Structure 1
Amino acid sequence: MYEAFFGLREKPFALTPNTEFMVQLAPYQACFNLLRLALAEGEGFIKVTGEVGTGKTLLCRALLRQLDAEHYQLAWLPNPALDPMALHQALAHELHVPHVDRLDNHGLLTVLHRRLIELAGKGRSAVLLIDEAQALPPATLEALRLLTNLETEQRKLLQVVLFGQPELDATLAREDFRQLRQRITFSYRLRPLDVSDASRYLQERLMVAGYRGDLLFKPAAVRLLVKGSGGIPRLLNILANKCLMAAFGEGRRRIDRRHVRRALADTEGAKPFLRASSRLRWALLAGAVSLSLLLGVWPWLSQLSGALP
């Protein structure tokens, strides 16, 4: 709709996790470096958590693309709501084990062990990436832990990377998961974007989409976008897309606070952040008024107490 107006080849703020649009911001780069280091160490579980929309799936896909196939055999489970048997079948499929549908659970574990030993003999590490890991049933989490028991005298045969929402931390904090929790050797929590991150995020995505003009989002607009989205990249994408539509409808070449306010009014998920900000401002104002009143009456109260017998 607005692409030609702004000189874009494609939409810069689509919600699909396209790794071409991944911006190397500090929180993402730190997480990515940690993942590569942890996988090189070859030990146990790795956990990445973050709120809904902070970019976990994009990181997972970027890792799938960038890990060297010569040294890693990757398995990816985008839908982890599986029972233990289905988990073993899915992993076997991903590791290119034939005829898995004909095997019972004991047979699956046997061929999986054989395949993992085969990969290790070729110098390749087997890595299982699980997106939306907070959806893993408890029995499947325990099955995962038992899978990582497969090892030689020198190394683990399978590493597991869990990408999940904060609910995953709550699940792993349970007493019955203390054994699995102790096997998480590396973990990272993705934080929301600040104003500096968001400004770079918006500009670089625009450039990937073909934009070559002046700064499109005014600084005041970026600050309001961060406030309204809570710094969550997915919400930033939704709001930025609506801002472009609003500016296009007016024939404007730059995004200002007016366009952001229109986008916020049309985006349900952004309203809690604004309400929280408004509550904080009112609380600070009430505190300031109370303090002013107290300071105003304090001299009078001091005189009164001195006059009392």
Structure 2
Amino acid sequence: MACVSVVVPVYNIRAFVGECLESIVSQTLADVEIVCVDDGSTDGSAEALDEAARLDGRIRVIHQENGGLSHARNVGIEAAGAPIVMFVDGDDMLAPNACETVVRAFGEGGVDLLTFAAASFPAGSAPRYQEENLHPSPARYDGAAFDALYQPGCRPFVWRSAFSRDFLTDAGLRFREDLAFGEDQAFYFQAYPLSRRTVVIADELYRYRQGRAGSLMAESRAQASGRVLDHIAIVRAIFETWAARGWLVGHGARMLDWCLDFVGPDLLELPAAKREEAHRRWQQAVGPHVGAVAVGEMEPGSQALLVRLLNEAPLTDGEARRVKWSYFRHRKGLKFCAHKLLGFDRRAKKAR
């Protein structure tokens, strides 16, 4: 039996999938199973996968009608036969020693979830904040790893983690197929709390391709209003899961604080009509559950933002600006506000 199953979802990335597979078949650990899920590709990717499988018996190809990234990953989980499961997007690559390093880390025993670092390519193409978020600090969590959710570099890309197959099965962990974007975030907000032992290492085991046209990340960034609605859908999914598992009591305040920072400022910057729609969806996502959260444990600036976003009265443009800057001042400090204002000023001058 293979030591590691690498699940590779593929959809219309013919130009990149060969490079991806080459990085996996040439691992320093040869005992790997590669489960490629062709999600209804129409650009020749399916044929490229079949040819790769003909040349290397470790590659298995599953063809299906297009069902989205989450469905493809879930199909891959079901098909994986090795005790450790990893994910690689079909336009990215693994470092040569990735699988060997993962197996060694799991060898210390009892590990359910391992998170590692990644490097963007081409070099220098990632924004600074994202580059920093790809590099976690080493840590170990025995028992529910709620704290890992809020540590830099531990989210949101699931391809930066490896999982015990038994853990995925026993916990019933699968990706939310009703999320068009951000399924990784919702997945981690289940996986870390359920993990009985989580290990975080600083080794760069993954190579993340930046700026590919047509990628889900590029499409999400293209429209601010769509991104905010996607983020609210993620928040809804997290709240539904945490309410069902009883995690809101005792752990909900920190999670809600994160959700406010994840959605609030961007929501407040939307044009009036888009803001009203996002405001309504936020209330639908959070309102039914907020009573279970110890809101008094939250920072005052976050409490103030929460109260206003739960108020059904529409936000005027002027009030939205005041609420946003009040939140920034209380939650992030005057230095952040100054940098934010200077950034706005530079963009305005460039536009002129």
- TM-score of the superposition, structure 2-length normalised? 0.27
- Structure ranking higher in helix proportion: 1
Greater fraction of residues in strand:
2
Higher relative contact order (CA 8 A, sep 6+): 1
